[in-house]
Amino acid sequence: MRNQEMNRCTLNRFSFCGFLACVVAVSLWFASLSVYHLNAAEPTGSPSDEIAKVLSESDYSGLETFLTEYCLDCHSEDEPEADLDLSVVGEQSIEASAQLWERVLRELRSRRMPPPNEYRPSEQIYQDTSERLVEALAHVAAKHPRPGRTDTFRRLNRFEYQNAIRDLLALDIDAEALLPADESSHGFDNVTVGDLPPTLVSRYINAARKISQLAIARPSDQLEGHTYRMPADVTQEEHVVGLPLGTRGGMLLHHTFPRSGVYEVQINLARDRNEHVEGLNGKYQMEFLLDRKRVAEFELVPPKARNQYFFDDSRLKARVTVEAGPHDVGVTFIKNKSSLIETKRQPLNVHFNSHRHPRLTPAVYQVSITGPYADDDISVAAESPPDTPSRRRVFTSYPASPEQNEACARQIISRLARLAYRRPVDAADVERLMEFYRDGAAEAGFEAGIERALASILVSPRFLFRIERDPEGLDVGDAYAISDDELASRLSFFLWSSLPDDELLTAAERGNLRDPSVLRDQVRRMLNDRRAEALVTNFANQWLHLRNLESKTPDARLYPDFDDNLRQAMRRETELFFQSIIEENRSVLDLLRSDYTYLNERLAKHYGIPHVYGSRFRRVDLSGGEHRGGLLRHGSILTVTSYATRTSPVIRGNWVLVNLLATPTPPPPPNVPSLEEEVIGAELPIRERLAKHRSNPACASCHVIIDPIGFSLENYDAVGRWRDTEFGVPVDSEGALPSGDSFQGVTGLEAAIMQWPELFATAMTEKLLTYALGRGIGESDGPAIREIVRRAGQDQYRFSTLIWEIINSPAFQMRTYR
């Protein structure tokens, strides 16, 4: 009866109302399911006997003594500092007040409390007290595991959706054009994805239609078009990676042609505010390439009359026969010969579409691709279906006769549904999809039926949502191991931001995925797979705030050489650097203490590093005098933590505290005045300008912690260039950690962090765990995180070891009931 009810409500030919009703029905259906009991063993990695020992009375008395001596003067009475009242913990067991002790331990391990200007314990007392707390809280966690709870329904975010389509259908799509951006929480956009608002439902339906049509590539008379536009501040005077040597500027596009046929490519050039083509001061040669083969060429000639500025670029178009599927489309200029050889690093002169920087040569503004057209002069071989990667992925079998259509369709649909739903599919699952196949096949044949069924898979809640269900018979607060199917999904979306592949699903279906040897082999295989690049393009880009580079536009009057080429080069440097840590299985501490980086000529010029030529990025070993190396020296991070007109020690200091030291600061109090530069004096060094904030009692408590860290990075300007002076005054880069220990410059900051490597490893573990689980980290996660860091420290914090310990932890493999 329930299956019949679902069949009636399921997407009735992609009806909006039908689909919305289906989402509601499926949600209720999942809530009412009788779920199987989980028999898998709990994950390994529980605290050792030494750590799990029960503290003696004298140990607990020592903790009470510590509180009385150093904490209760501020954190008790009616209005305790930071809303932290520690006077009650002496009346309770450590187990009863575990969350309060977790807050105390975080402050002690960062040495932030007591404040540097207050009476503070010796380093030995810090260590002894922290160790006692770690042992006590580990014992509590061993007795009462609290692995946390992820949401039961979590929608794929935009990046995961794009990767899922790629791996399911061998089809590259632009999810940004199909779906709206996801909101971020706790630093990542896979946290607040628990719902499916009605406005998003229609976007998913339209996306499913387009994607299924692209995947099948069925013949159609409908024209389709897509326009690619170049950002205005892209410099097009040098070679573009992927285009032939000897060319300059232009665009390289990876475009999927929906069907075989004749397509028209239209090129438009960049123009100034008067609609004149910029830089057209002589003859120029352009070429249009398809898969690196020249298919058309154009000559650009300026108007003969001096008072005639109009250039008709509507003739810059070509029609070409293209087979369905993905192709590389290139539009570029032939580079004019030059005898200039660089013997000394020259300043960079940027020229892009701006009244302050007129282009020296013509540049591409946009490329439009339209088709397929019917053209009598060009014959298209359309008798046989096109051979595209997506069709090969979908049609793993093909009927030899109409009598085989039904059986073949059932085989195709069953395989796709298993991969898309990330679990075994039963007869009811397949039968619902076969109804869509039969409707489509009745209208337009076998392939139309497969297209209709595929579209229904892509709008199914089973595909769009990751679902983790509670077993029966548990009490509120009980911890239980998630199923092998759910563990496979957690693994793949953590390491790949995508679906589990067939090998991982098979291991889950056998029921032995949680076996340590099987699980370790799968993790090792997945980290070596190209799909693990998602840890760079998704995790690292969000953790390090690289995505914010797109919105950073430094003031062109102060930084005239900043352009999009530099912006993208900065981002690529950090991505390649992070990727090298993964691929070489280096210690995560090398993210801060590196003696190499990745550069191309554009970025090397910005940094003032000679002997790096061309657009290709390459690994560059550093001697130390270049002021480059680890993350704190990367132009990408230094730029995203600055304002458009100046550096920001506040943003930089807070970035280090949150992302590298796991020491977040409280939000600013209400009605805090902004830093008014015109009043304070914009010509003063930033340290003097920020002194006003530190003199305000409402601001001082936070700024005395944040600012000193940011000051240590003041040798780098707002776009990451090294400087020794500011306004003619030597830069003062003295800094200090929350503990009060002072140091000099970025080198001192790196050394200070390396004195407490477990803090950096903890910060990275917290970020990785937040990203892996799709939820915020709380006090109850403290014991698991500390155990992960402790075990990873035994292997010098190597990246693969840190990943393994996260996956092998109770937080990753278990869940709390309700």
pLDDT single digits (tens) 442-460: 999 999 999 999 999 999 9
| Residues 689-724 pLDDT 10s | 777 666 666 677 778 889 999 999 999 999 999 999
Which is more confidently placed, 244 or 98? Answer: 244
Task: Burial-class residue 221 by CB neighbours within 10 Å (0-12, 13-18, 19+).
Answer: exposed
- CA atoms of 481 and 460, how far apart (whole Å): 26
pTM, to two decimals: 0.88
What pLDDT score does 349 carry?
57
- CB neighbourhood size of 622 (10 A): 16
CB 660 within 8 A of CB 622: no
pLDDT in the model for residue 83 = 75
Instruction: Name the residue with higher pLDDT: 356 or 320.
Output: 320
DSSP assignment of 533-546 equals GHIIIIIIHHHTTG
Closest CA to 320 of 277, 267, 378: 378
DSSP letters along 354-389, please?
BTTB--SS--EEEEEEEEEEP-TTS----SS----H
pLDDT of residue 603: 97
Model confidence over 615-627: pLDDT tens digits? 999 999 999 889 9
Tokens of 488: 């496979």
What's the pLDDT score for residue 218?
Answer: 84
Pick the CATH number of 224-373 from 3.30.1300.10, 3.10.20.600, 3.40.50.720, 2.60.120.260: 2.60.120.260
Residue 132: pLDDT band (50, 70, 90) is confident
Residue extent(s) of CATH 2.60.120.260 domains in the chain: 224-373
Residue 446: per-residue pLDDT = 96
